[in-house]
Amino acid sequence: MEYFLQQLINGVTLGSIYGLIAIGYTMVYGIIGMINFAHGDIFMIGAFSGLIVIVGLGALGLGSAGGLIVVAIIGAMIVAAAYGWALERIAYRPLRGSFRLAALISAIGMSILLQNYVQLAQGARVKPLQPMIEGGFVLMQKGDFTVNLSYLQIIIVGTTIALMTGFSLLIAKTSIGRSQRACEQDMKMAALLGLDVNRTISLTFMMGAALAAVAGMMFLIYYGVIDFFIGFLVGIKAFTAAVLGGIGSLPGAMLGGLLIGLIETFWSGYFTVEYKDVAAFAILVLVLIFRPTGLLGRPEVEKV
């Protein structure tokens, strides 16, 4: 029971990170129907940008830990949004309307490019970060086993809930969100109503990238190490989360992220840590075979 509770806490924390990244996959798919395989690397860029801000400002002796983190998150979101914007402009827009595989190949190419660029610029070794937020609550104790809920976990889950709520409201209630949904449902009609479709697509990439950057910061502080390759595995798991929830669906991405985080954590907790990545990929395969529309996705029938 204690062990279960601890895994649950860890799983929800990890699921928050996956969920935030999954939103970017699902939004881009919703609007232009492509899988942005470089999205995981935008997450990685976000983590690196945050680390650079923290190390840089920390070296100057500026700011408290809390202040540093807030500045780093904002910096990481801006940098990642700029990369997201550039990615779409350079690698995807010229191929829009071309055959589907072209954009996919371009995305994989951009993913490799970003990884290699960061490897060259920052080196291949892992980058450590001193723990910045320590301590927490002991929820339960039985023998030597304690159930811990760290402050950091509370912050990660709390931030995720706040961001997801805010983002859902943005999509459902604001004119920006309405424009994005209009483009998703009928891009040609959206243009006939005066909408600058290219701008809306750019904005979608930037929003997804900014959320991935927040996830990157969480990953950095939670695990304390990053390298140029983190975007690959985390990216594929977040993609799996988006597919599990139903690609194109915003609540689906959030639910899928949570589920993948829980599944991975419980799998490592109860079976074997070595094969923890297999769990996520097995789910990807099973969903694609038995329920390609995912849990909350809608069938692709009403396209006119």
Provide the token pair at 275: 């094969």
Map residue 64 onto helix, strand or coil. coil
Is there a contact between 245 and 295 (Cβ–Cβ < 8 Å)? yes
Scanning 59-67, 71-79, 139-147, 178-186 for contacts with other proteins by CB under 8 A, the matching segment is 178-186
**How is 185-228 classified by DSSP, letter by letter?**
H-HHHHHHTT--HHHHHHHHHHHHHHHHHHHHHHHHHHHSEE-T
What's the N-to-C CA distance of the chain in angstroms? 52
168 is an interface residue for other proteins by CB under 8 A? no
Is there a contact between 20 and 192 (Cβ–Cβ < 8 Å)? no
Give the torsion through C-alpha atoms of 79, 85, 87, 89, to 10 deg.
-150
195 is an interface residue for other proteins by CB under 8 A? yes
As a whole number of Å, the CA-based R_g of the chain is 19
Indicate which single residue of 60, 193, 273, 289 sits in contact with other proteins (rule: CB under 8 A): 193
Indicate which single residue of 23, 77, 190, 206 sits in contact with other proteins (rule: CB under 8 A): 190
Say how far apart CA 83 and CA 5 lie, in whole Å: 39
- Give 13 or 249: the residue with its C-beta nearer to other proteins: 249
Task: Tell the smallest beta-carbon distance from residue 29 to other proteins (Å).
Answer: 16
Q: Total residues contacting other proteins (rule CB under 8 A)?
A: 19
- Give 59 or 193: the residue with its C-beta nearer to other proteins: 193
182 is an interface residue for other proteins by CB under 8 A? yes
Give strand pairing partners of 142. Answer: 145
Residues in Cβ contact with 125 at an 8 Å cutoff, skipping those fewer than 6 apart: 227
Say how far apart CA 249 and CA 234 lie, in whole Å: 20
Task: Tell the smallest beta-carbon distance from residue 198 to other proteins (Å).
Answer: 9
Buried b (16+ CB within 10 A) or exposed e, 263-288: bbbbbbbeeeeeebeebbeebbeebe
188 is an interface residue for other proteins by CB under 8 A? yes
Indicate which single residue of 78, 185, 269, 282 sits in contact with other proteins (rule: CB under 8 A): 185
Indicate which single residue of 7, 10, 179, 202 sits in contact with other proteins (rule: CB under 8 A): 179
- Give 179 or 265: the residue with its C-beta nearer to other proteins: 179
- Give 104 or 295: the residue with its C-beta nearer to other proteins: 295
265 is an interface residue for other proteins by CB under 8 A? no
Indicate which single residue of 121, 175, 273, 290 sits in contact with other proteins (rule: CB under 8 A): 175
Scanning 65-73, 119-127, 155-163, 176-184 for contacts with other proteins by CB under 8 A, the matching segment is 176-184
Task: Tell the smallest beta-carbon distance from residue 174 to other proteins (Å).
Answer: 11
95 is an interface residue for other proteins by CB under 8 A? no
Scanning 52-60, 112-120, 188-196, 253-261 for contacts with other proteins by CB under 8 A, the matching segment is 188-196
189 is an interface residue for other proteins by CB under 8 A? yes
Provide the token pair at 49: 């940008």
**Residue ranges binding other proteins (CB under 8 A):** 175, 178-179, 181-182, 185-186, 188-197, 302, 304
